[in-house]
Structure 1
Amino acid sequence: MSFKIAIIGAGSVGFTKKLFTDILCVPEFEDIEFALTDVSEHNLAMIKAILDRIVEANKLPTKVTATTNRREALEGARYIISCVRVGGLEAYADDIRIPLKYGIDQCVGDTICAGGILYGQRNIPVNLDFCRDIREVAATGAKFLNYANPMAMNTWAAIEYGKVDTVGLCHGVQHGAEQIAQVLGAKSPKELDYVCSGINHQTWFIELKLNGRPVGKDELISAFEAHPVYSKQEKLRIDVLKRFGVYSTESNGHLSEYLPWYRKRPDEIARWIDMSDWIHGETGGYLRYSTETRNWFETEYPQFLEAASKPIDPAKRSNEHASHILEALETNRVYRGHFNVKNNGVITNLPQDAIIESPGFVDRFGINMAAGITLPEACAATCMASINVQRMSVHAAIAGDIDLLKLAVLHDPLVGAVSTPEEVWQMVDEMVVAQAQWLPQYAHAVPAAKERLSKSKVKTREWAGAARRSVRSIEELRAEKAALKQAG
């Protein structure tokens, strides 16, 4: 087989490498072309060198090109994969820093909440530029695989306004299933059969079977509470399981910021999080992790390049959806996964226009969703709160409507639990002004926002958050990695 895959935001080096090696685990795909594109020439050069080394080491005919000219990369592409972060870590730091001044403590801030909504405002216009290029220069019927957050908002905009065949992909479901299999004592995650449905990062394991035997709420609660690690790391997630009756796919820290109950007061945050790793609830945890990862990669790049000389091992193919979807579409080997698509009746008690994440099957005819799923009422209610925020956020991003943007932020569950309307209005003004270079659709609104900020009497505070850690130096990271290696 010979076709072209374009990867936008390919400078996300580690993730691009993973997608690349996964795809080349499919024997029929060794003759394809990868076209890498990014706004950073530096990052592009690094990832191209790594991928070239993989191709050389494995004696493959695979072609790898790299360019900052996006349309050139997309020309003739059958598949386009996006993993962009518009504004990079600089804008992301504002997504965390500014809401903290108003008492809003986020662990990740990339899905909803104040940070995720502004992230969407930056990404959606660029996403629509991608869609325009796909319509104009990509192969007829090209498929857009979106890995970029905020997943639901980006996918919603691409489908509704970009008019491109789009699917959103995430790995939260797979990770949650691995946890459940582990606490239930399964030898392999393959022993667990499940139906998981909802919206991205708020997906719910509504049916569980271990080796064909149904697993109920009480058994699952007991298994998690008895686990020596997860009982400490997933306290909030276990509490939601007890109250809702089903387990959420999302990590303890991520789940905490989609709900109005657990991060509303600093003293409450400490009760529900675990500081053993950023993903369990640390303030700005993913920002710290991302910063450390970038610094580590820049410093230790020669090691990454050397590691690329190893043979590709198909047994180590990851559970990221992209390679499996492409394999199913091109070879007709059926793949079952969980995909982000427009609802259109798949989940009976969520809106038709919402972007849902639910089970589907892929073969040469495309992605075919399992329809007629009904969520438990509490799960649907929680999803609905986020969907309403997502819808307003998408519409605000398309129109450049700062008033609608403020209403979207006001209706966010955690923001609403913490902040007053006056605080929300000022916070959004401050975020739009700070991120104006990445928000061209709001250019007309920036002068008035600056004027309001100059006259505002709403009080803020300089607050690091309830559970903030400093970015570690390269020396500290080396010492930690050495200690872990020595410990086994």
Structure 2
Amino acid sequence: MSFKIAIIGAGSVGFTKKLFTDILCVPEFRDVEFALTDLSERNLQMIKSILDRVVEFNRLPTKVTATTDRRAALEGARYIISCVRVGGLEAYADDIRIPLKYGIDQCVGDTICAGGILYGQRNIPVILDFCKDILEVAEPGVKFLNYANPMAMNTWAAIEYGRVDTVGLCHGVQHGADQIAEVLGAKSRTELDYVCSGINHQTWFIDLRLNGRKIGKDELVAAFEAHPVYSQQEKLRIDVLKRFGVYSTESNGHLSEYLPWYRKRPDEITRWIDMSDWIHGETGGYLRYSTETRNWFETEFPQFLESAARPIDPAKRSNEHASHILEALETNRVYRGHFNVKNNGIITNLPQDAIIESPGFVDRFGINMAAGITLPEACAATCISSINVQRMSVHAAISGDIDLLKLAVLHDPLVGAVSTPEEVWQMVDEMVVAQARWLPQYADAVPAAKERLSKSRVKTREWAGAARRDVRSIEELRAEKTALKQAV
């Protein structure tokens, strides 16, 4: 088979390499063309060097091109994958730093909450630019695979306003299933069957079967509490399981910032999180991790290049959905996964216009979702709170309505549990002004926002957060990796 796959934001080096090698695990895909595009010429050349090394070592006919000209990369593409992070780490740092001044402590801040909402405001205009180019120059019938956060908002905008055939993809369900299989003592995840449904980062394992035997709440709670690691790392997640009756796909840290109950006071934050790794609730944890990863790659690039000279092993193909979807569409080998699409009756007790994450099957006819799923009431209520925020955020990003943006932030569950309306109004002004270069839709609102900030009497504080760690140096990271190798 010969067709073109374009990857936007291909400078996300580690993730791009994973998608690339996954796709090349499919024998029929040896002759495809990968067109990489990114704003950074330097990052593009680095990732192209790595992928060229993979192709050369494995003696493949695969073609890899790289260009900062997005339309050229998209021209004639059958599949387009987005991994973009608009504003990079510079804007992301403001997503964490500014809300902290108003008492809002986020672990990740890339889905909802103050940081995730502003992240969406930066991404959506760019997503719509992608869609315009896709409709004009890509292959007819092109499919857009969005991996970029905020997943629901980006996918919502691409479907409703970009009018492109789009599916949002995430790996939270797979990671949650791995945990459940482990605590239940399964020899492999293939012994576990499940129905997982909800919205991205708030998806719920509403039916679990281990070797055909139904697993109930009490058994699952006991299994997690008996686990020597997860009982400490997932304290908040286990508490939600006890109260809701079902397990959430999302990590302890991520889940904590979508709910109004666990991160609203510093003493409560430290009670529910675990500092063994960033994902379990550390203040600004993903920002620190992303910064360290970028620094490590830039310093250790020769090692990355050397490690690319290895055989592609289909047995090590990852559980990221993209390669499996492409394989099913092109070869008719059926794939079951969990996909982000517009609801339209798939989940009976969530709004029809929402972007939901739920089970589906892929074959040559496309992505076919299992419809008629009803969530437990508490799960639906929690999802609906986020959906209302997402809807307002998308509409604000499209219209450039700063008042609607403020209302979206005000209605965020964690923001509402921590901040007053006056604080929210000022915080949004401050974030829009700080990120104005990435927010063209708010250009007319920025002067008035600056004027309001100059006269504001709302008090703020310089606060690092309840559980902040410093970014580690390359030397510290190197020493840690050496110690881990020696321990193994």
Give the TM-score of the pair, scaled to structure 2.
Answer: 1.00
Question: Within 5 Å, which residues of 2 pair with 1:386-401?
Answer: 386-401=386-401
1:64 Cα deviation after fit: 0.2
Task: State the Cα deviation string for residues 420-455 of structure 1 (Å, max 9, x = none).
Answer: 000000000000000000000000000000000000
Q: Distance in 1 between matches of 2:236 and 2:487?
A: 29
Q: Distance in 2 between matches of 1:425 and 1:209?
A: 47
Tell me the secondary structure at the aligned position of residue 134 of structure 1.
helix
Task: State the Cα deviation string for residues 312-361 of structure 1 (Å, max 9, x = none).
Answer: 01100000000000000000000000000000000000000000000000
Q: Distance in 2 between matches of 1:179 and 1:189?
A: 9
Aligned twin of 1:425: 425
1:98 Cα deviation after fit: 0.1
Tell me the secondary structure at the aligned position of residue 121 of structure 2.
helix
Q: Distance in 2 between matches of 1:211 and 1:304?
A: 40
Aligned twin of 1:136: 136
Aligned twin of 1:241: 241
Task: State the Cα deviation string for residues 271-325 of structure 1 (Å, max 9, x = none).
Answer: 0000000000000000000000000000000000000000101100000000000
1:22 Cα deviation after fit: 0.1
Query: What root-mean-square deviation, in Å, do the aligned CA atoms of Structure 1 and Structure 2 show?
Result: 0.2
Q: Distance in 1 between matches of 2:255 and 2:136?
A: 39
* Identical residues among aligned pairs (%): 91
Q: Distance in 1 between matches of 2:145 and 2:7?
A: 9
Task: State the Cα deviation string for residues 37-71 of structure 1 (Å, max 9, x = none).
Answer: 00000000000000000000000000000000000
Q: Distance in 2 between matches of 1:271 and 1:487?
A: 30
Q: Distance in 2 between matches of 1:78 and 1:179?
A: 35
Aligned twin of 1:50: 50
Q: Distance in 2 between matches of 1:98 and 1:173?
A: 31
Aligned twin of 2:13: 13
1:264 Cα deviation after fit: 0.3
Task: State the Cα deviation string for residues 6-33 of structure 1 (Å, max 9, x = none).
Answer: 0000000000000000000000000000
1:391 Cα deviation after fit: 0.1
1:468 Cα deviation after fit: 0.3
Aligned twin of 1:194: 194
Q: Distance in 1 between matches of 2:189 and 2:240?
A: 23
1:231 Cα deviation after fit: 0.1
1:266 Cα deviation after fit: 0.2
Aligned twin of 2:353: 353
Tell me the secondary structure at the aligned position of residue 148 of structure 1.
coil
Q: Distance in 1 between matches of 2:484 and 2:251?
A: 23
1:116 Cα deviation after fit: 0.1
Aligned twin of 2:167: 167
1:223 Cα deviation after fit: 0.1
1:165 Cα deviation after fit: 0.1
1:206 Cα deviation after fit: 0.1
Task: State the Cα deviation string for residues 393-445 of structure 1 (Å, max 9, x = none).
Answer: 00000000000000000000000000000000000000000000000000000
Q: Distance in 2 between matches of 1:55 and 1:230?
A: 39
1:159 Cα deviation after fit: 0.1
Tell me the secondary structure at the aligned position of residue 66 of structure 1.
strand
1:229 Cα deviation after fit: 0.2
1:255 Cα deviation after fit: 0.1
Q: Distance in 1 between matches of 2:114 and 2:184?
A: 36
1:365 Cα deviation after fit: 0.1
Q: Distance in 1 between matches of 2:235 and 2:90?
A: 32
Task: State the Cα deviation string for residues 208-252 of structure 1 (Å, max 9, x = none).
Answer: 000000000000000000000000000000000000000000000
Gaps spanning 5+ residues in structure 1: where? Answer: none
1:177 Cα deviation after fit: 0.1
Q: Distance in 2 between matches of 1:254 and 1:84?
A: 20
Q: Distance in 2 between matches of 1:389 and 1:28?
A: 43
1:204 Cα deviation after fit: 0.1
Q: Distance in 1 between matches of 2:252 and 2:481?
A: 24
1:3 Cα deviation after fit: 0.2
Question: Within 5 Å, which residues of 2 pair with 1:83-482?
Answer: 83-482=83-482
Q: Distance in 2 between matches of 1:484 and 1:223?
A: 28
Tell me the secondary structure at the aligned position of residue 80 of structure 2.
strand
Tell me the secondary structure at the aligned position of residue 206 of structure 1.
strand
Q: Distance in 2 between matches of 1:155 and 1:453?
A: 33
Q: Distance in 1 between matches of 2:343 and 2:55?
A: 39
1:260 Cα deviation after fit: 0.1
Task: State the Cα deviation string for residues 446-469 of structure 1 (Å, max 9, x = none).
Answer: 000000000000000000000000
1:390 Cα deviation after fit: 0.1
Task: State the Cα deviation string for residues 90-112 of structure 1 (Å, max 9, x = none).
Answer: 00000000000000000000000
1:197 Cα deviation after fit: 0.0
Q: Distance in 1 between matches of 2:286 and 2:188?
A: 29
Q: Distance in 1 between matches of 2:303 and 2:297?
A: 9
Tell me the secondary structure at the aligned position of residue 196 of structure 1.
strand
Q: Distance in 2 between matches of 1:405 and 1:42?
A: 35
Tell me the secondary structure at the aligned position of residue 444 of structure 1.
coil
Moved segments of 4+, more than 2 Å = none
Gaps spanning 5+ residues in structure 2: where? Answer: none
Give the TM-score of the pair, scaled to structure 1.
Answer: 1.00
1:377 Cα deviation after fit: 0.1
Task: State the Cα deviation string for residues 144-186 of structure 1 (Å, max 9, x = none).
Answer: 0000000000000000000000000000000000000000000
Task: State the Cα deviation string for residues 70-121 of structure 1 (Å, max 9, x = none).
Answer: 0000000000000000000000000000000000000000000000000000
Q: Distance in 2 between matches of 1:177 and 1:154?
A: 25
Q: Distance in 2 between matches of 1:425 and 1:40?
A: 34
Tell me the secondary structure at the aligned position of residue 324 of structure 2.
helix
Tell me the secondary structure at the aligned position of residue 357 of structure 2.
strand
Q: Distance in 2 between matches of 1:238 and 1:426?
A: 35
1:270 Cα deviation after fit: 0.5
Q: Distance in 1 between matches of 2:311 and 2:39?
A: 30
